Structure 1
Amino acid sequence: MPAADLAQHQQLQSLYASHHGWLAGWLRHKLGNASEAADLAQDTFISVLTGGHAPQIREARPFLATIARRLVAHRYRRQQLEDAYLAALACLPAELAPAPEERLLAIEALQEIDAALAGLPAPVRTAFLLAQLEGLSYAEIAERLQVSSSSVKQYLTRANRHVFFALPA
């Protein structure tokens, strides 16, 4: 193993040994669930490992807490999305309800779209959702957002392009 890789490995090992217990406890206190806290603590360190940011960390605990907060927020968003989808399915007659495999694929697709939309400014994201979910026209969206129809057209072009290129083929 090259010296640089060895140094980074030792740095990560030291970071984990010094702060994993604290992070897991902090998350347990925030979430009230030990197993979820343990999962998120591991996910936080995996994020540090895959992000390659370990050498630049100056204040480990605030850095780890920031990553953990983002992961918690992501997990809650994902759960809200799944709950909303399942609530919509509950309104369907049993014979129209999709099979469990189809449900899982739909939830995964919704999560991918949600992640793609998260990278857009709020008005662009809102315009996209109003067009796709509520079927509103450019004029109706413009009225809701208090912008021009040409702005809505630009928003939807940007959102469609962004979502198209963000999703796997």
Structure 2
Amino acid sequence: MARKQSAASHGFAEQLYLEHHSWLCSWLRNRVSCASHAEDLAQDTFMGILLSPQLLTIREPRPFLATVARRLVANFYRRKKIEEHYLQALAELPEEAIPSPEVRQQAIEMLEQLDRALDGLPPHVREAFLLAHLQGMRYSDIAERLRVSTSSVKQYLQRANLHCFFALSA
């Protein structure tokens, strides 16, 4: 039974790819304005779908592909924004303080992980974390800005720090 389902999945996946790959690449090029990025995102879209246990339940391939691809495009722009901000910060450093390309890549990957972890937090908690850790603001200043008590800021930061610790260590 598992073999028949595997063969059916393989055949369906191949058909899906052959019939919709060029359409998806074109659809993505309109959103990312770069053919090579569109190709990469199309491959990522198909890989995500091909590994999905719901592959055989897809009835409307193009809307399904577009939904998966939209999420990947959002992540693509999010990563791009993180990388741009990081590179801007590096540009302000003296040349001798600029890290190697390997360290820069590791830092960008860590920032992306942190961004994903923070995305799961309520807005006030996320903002308190960013204000404290990126801007070095004191609890009292954060409390004033968020219009909450300093004890709330302390709770927000404890929650955010724990959340990020567990998210990054997973």
TM-score norm. by structure 1 comes to: 0.89
**Which residue identity is paired with 1:144?**
R
Deviation at 1:75, TM superposition (A): 1.1
**Alignment partner, residue 132 of structure 1:** 133
**Which residue identity is paired with 2:62?**
R
> Is residue 140 of structure 2 the alignment partner of residue 145 of structure 1?
no
SS in 2 for 1:52: coil
Structure 1 pair 64/141, CA: closer, same or farther in 2 (3 Å)?
Answer: same
**Which residue identity is paired with 1:42?**
Q
Percentage identity across paired residues of the two chains: 57
**Alignment partner, residue 111 of structure 1:** 112
**Alignment partner, residue 85 of structure 1:** 86
Deviation at 1:70, TM superposition (A): 1.2
Please give the alpha-carbon distance, in whole angstroms, between the structure 1 residues aligned to 2:57 and 2:116.
27
Please give the alpha-carbon distance, in whole angstroms, between the structure 1 residues aligned to 2:121 and 2:56.
30
Cα-to-partner distance string for 1:18-51 (whole Å, 9 max, x where unaligned): 2112111111222222221111111111111233
Please give the alpha-carbon distance, in whole angstroms, between the structure 2 residues aligned to 1:39 and 1:115.
21
Deviation at 1:132, TM superposition (A): 0.7
Please give the alpha-carbon distance, in whole angstroms, between the structure 2 residues aligned to 1:100 and 1:46.
28
Deviation at 1:148, TM superposition (A): 3.0
Stretches of structure 2 lacking an aligned partner (at least 5 in a row): none
Q: Give the number of aligned pairs.
A: 169
SS in 1 for 2:46: helix
**Alignment partner, residue 75 of structure 1:** 76
Matches within 5 A, 1:1-169: 2-168=3-169
**Which residue identity is paired with 2:168?**
L
Stretches of structure 1 lacking an aligned partner (at least 5 in a row): none
Q: Which runs of 4+ in 1 moved over 3 A?
A: none
Please give the alpha-carbon distance, in whole angstroms, between the structure 2 residues aligned to 1:30 and 1:113.
25
**Which residue identity is paired with 2:92?**
C
Please give the alpha-carbon distance, in whole angstroms, between the structure 1 residues aligned to 2:35 and 2:162.
41
Deviation at 1:90, TM superposition (A): 1.1
Please give the alpha-carbon distance, in whole angstroms, between the structure 2 residues aligned to 1:47 and 1:107.
23
TM-score norm. by structure 2 comes to: 0.89
Cα-to-partner distance string for 1:44-72 (whole Å, 9 max, x where unaligned): 11111233332332322112111111111
SS in 1 for 2:137: coil
**Which residue identity is paired with 1:43?**
D
Provide the alpha-carbon RMSD of the alignment: 1.8
Structure 1 pair 13/132, CA: closer, same or farther in 2 (3 Å)?
Answer: same
